[in-house]
């Protein structure tokens, strides 16, 4: 079921009613200020609206009202002016500003240039020029027009169309209890490394590899996904998986899909195809922005031409999580979609916590815990059944020489007999069961993310 097929299952009762879920600055300053609204209709059909403001002005911070006339004397060709009290985008306080309007952009540019030429001789407070080209951001514009950046609105007259250009006066805010049909994509990635148990896999080395991506598709505010995908290069017996976990996957068996591939490259290609197919509105993950996108980034760089059709453009952004810390997030930028790394939210919300693992944050929010499989074996145990050992054993089960070398290293590290190590990695029935447990482990994480988002 694609994004268009999902849309087709829902009706539209009011064709001019739309939900804005994202607003971005898309300004063309030769014609005016442009605010782009990414929106959906009642049935989830996506489109965008451009709101253009033709006011030709700039703002000057006005600390002393008695200096108003001296400011105005600096300009000869202004049309009119206002004194406004607004909160700048980069401040927590409100200030008085002198807003000066001009009849055309040529006069405005000429006045700005004249002001800049005289800046050294002007009052110190006049030096803070808030040129609309630089500071008229979407939050300021929304405040000025009493416009909600997220919520339901209606076009007052005419026919609502994709890429329509209107003004603020053409739409009205609507109070509605209808839930928008936004498509949420939650995903998680599993990767491994041949370098050794002391190395956490980050795919920055040739011995690191991706072996599984779980991707779930939800509707906004619904805990049950309508499609689930497990993309993996590990051999998995789907029948045994459903026999063991069929009652715990939160969807019908027909809606849980295993996409079995032969290589890491094919995992990424299938992931890209699904991104393109569903055209999600909101993407969520946990620590995907800091490490997991980087895992994919290293491989996509080499084969980017194959993924461009899916819009897998990788951006990065520094996000302040507390007064002393910023987190660099890498994410897939898809036009008209929002990226949410819930680890950033957790760090902002629980700033005094010493750890922000998904399991810990779920517990803080009184939600059901995630499923955990140990990455390395317990120091006090001779049981080697852990992700580091068994993922390699599953992935390279046909490479007896590599497994023998690996068993030799393990026996020295763990003080366990070589033959026991080798036998544990060669039992096909044990490996078959473990890969099923891995798939379930990965599938629970994405369900937890949606629960956390709803919470």
Antiparallel, parallel or unpaired: β 208-219 and 227-232: antiparallel
Model pLDDT, residue 201? 61
Higher per-residue confidence, 332 vs 155: 155
On whether the CB atoms of residues 416 and 382 are closer than 8 A, the answer is: yes
Q: Which of 106-110, 202-206, 276-280, 334-338 tops mean pLDDT?
A: 276-280
Tell me if residue 396 falls in helix, strand or coil.
Answer: coil
The pLDDT-based confidence of 126 (bands split at 50, 70, 90) is very low
pTM listed for this prediction: 0.72
Q: Which residues of 383-402 are buried (b: 16+ CB within 10 A; e: fewer)?
A: ebebbbbbbbbbbebeeeee
Burial of 110 (0-12, 13-18, 19+ CB in 10 A): middle
Residues 6+ apart with CB under 8 A from 72: 78, 81, 98, 100
Model pLDDT, residue 142? 66
Dihedral of the alpha carbons of 260, 214, 298, 332, in degrees to the nearest 10: 130
Model pLDDT, residue 238? 94
Report pLDDT digits (tens) over 133-184. Answer: 444 456 666 665 667 788 999 999 999 999 999 988 899 999 888 888 999 9
Domains of the chain from N-terminus onward = 3-54+142-173 (2.40.50), 183-374+432-454 (3.30.420.10)
Structure-block tokens of residue 355: 């750890």
Cα–Cα distance, 43 to 122 (Å, whole number): 56
Cα–Cα distance, 309 to 307 (Å, whole number): 5
Report pLDDT digits (tens) over 369-410. Answer: 666 666 656 555 556 667 777 888 888 888 888 888 888 887
CA-atom Rg of the chain in angstroms: 28
Model pLDDT, residue 197? 58
Tell me if residue 315 falls in helix, strand or coil.
Answer: strand
The pLDDT-based confidence of 276 (bands split at 50, 70, 90) is confident
Return the percentage of the chain with pLDDT > 70, whole number.
Answer: 73
In this structure, of 78-92, 324-338, 417-431, the range with the lowest mean pLDDT score is: 324-338
Q: Residue 117: how many CA atoms within 13 Å on its side-chain side?
A: 8
Report pLDDT digits (tens) over 339-368. Answer: 888 887 788 778 777 777 777 788 888 877
The pLDDT-based confidence of 200 (bands split at 50, 70, 90) is low
The secondary structure of 214-266 as a DSSP string is EEEEEETT-SS-SEEEEEESS---HHHHHHHHGGGSSS-GGGEEEEE-SSHHH
Model pLDDT, residue 53? 73
Average pLDDT over residues 187-203: 70
Secondary element (H or E) of residue 95: strand 95-102
The pLDDT-based confidence of 204 (bands split at 50, 70, 90) is low
Which stretches of 105-224 are assigned E, i.e. beta strand? 129-130, 151-155, 164-166, 171-173, 183-193, 208-219
Query: Which single residue is written with the structure tokens 């509605």?
Result: 176
Model pLDDT, residue 176? 83
The alpha carbon of 255 is separated from its chain's Cα centroid by a whole number of angstroms, namely 24
């Amino acid at each position: 079921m694609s994004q268009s097929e999902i849309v087709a299952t829902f009706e539209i009762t009011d064709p001019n009613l739309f939900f804005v879920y994202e607003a971005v600055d898309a300004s063309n300053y030769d014609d005016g200020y442009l605010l782009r609204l990414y929106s959906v209709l009642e049935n989830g059909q996506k489109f965008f609206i451009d709101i253009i403001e033709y006011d030709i002005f700039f703002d000057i911070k006005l600390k002393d009202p008695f200096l108003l006339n001296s400011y105005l004397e600096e300009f000869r060709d202004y049309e009119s002016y206002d004194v406004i009290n607004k909160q700048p985008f980069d401040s927590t306080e409100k200030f008085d500003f002198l807003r000066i309007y001009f009849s055309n952009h040529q006069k405005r540019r000429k006045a700005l240039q004249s002001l800049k030429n005289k800046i050294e001789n002007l009052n110190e407070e006049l030096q803070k020029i808030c040129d609309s080209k630089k500071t008229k951001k979407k939050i300021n514009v929304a405040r000025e027009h009493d416009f909600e950046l997220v919520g339901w609105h209606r076009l007052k007259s005419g026919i609502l169309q994709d890429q329509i250009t209107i003004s603020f006066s053409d739409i009205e805010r609507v109070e509605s209890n209808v839930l928008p049909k936004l498509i949420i994509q939650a995903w998680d990635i599993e990767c491994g490394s041949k370098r050794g148990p002391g190395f956490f896999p980050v795919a920055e080395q040739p011995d690191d590899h991706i072996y599984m991506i779980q991707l779930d598709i939800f509707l906004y505010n619904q805990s049950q996904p309508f499609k689930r995908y497990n993309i993996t290069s590990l051999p998995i017996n789907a029948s045994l998986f459903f026999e063991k976990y069929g009652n715990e996957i939160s969807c019908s068996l027909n809606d849980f899909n295993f996409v079995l591939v032969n290589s890491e490259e094919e995992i990424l290609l299938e992931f890209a195809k699904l991104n393109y197919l569903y055209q999600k509105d909101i993407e969520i993950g946990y620590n995907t922005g800091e490490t997991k996108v980087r895992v994919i980034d290293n491989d996509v760089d080499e084969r980017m031409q194959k993924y461009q059709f899916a819009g897998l453009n990788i951006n990065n952004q520094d996000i302040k999580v507390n007064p002393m810390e910023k987190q660099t997030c890498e994410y897939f930028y898809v036009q008209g979609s929002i990226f949410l790394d819930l680890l950033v939210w957790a760090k902002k919300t629980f700033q005094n916590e010493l750890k922000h693992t998904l399991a810990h944050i779920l517990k803080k929010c009184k939600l059901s815990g995630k499923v955990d499989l140990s990455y390395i074996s317990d120091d006090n145990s001779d049981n080697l059944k852990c992700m580091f050992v068994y993922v390699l054993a599953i992935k390279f089960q046909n490479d007896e020489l590599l497994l023998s070398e690996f068993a030799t290293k393990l026996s020295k590290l763990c003080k366990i007999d070589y033959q026991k190590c080798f036998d544990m990695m060669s039992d096909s029935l044990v490996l078959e069961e473990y890969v099923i447990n891995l798939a379930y482990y990965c599938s629970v994480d994405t369900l937890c993310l949606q629960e956390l988002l709803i919470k």
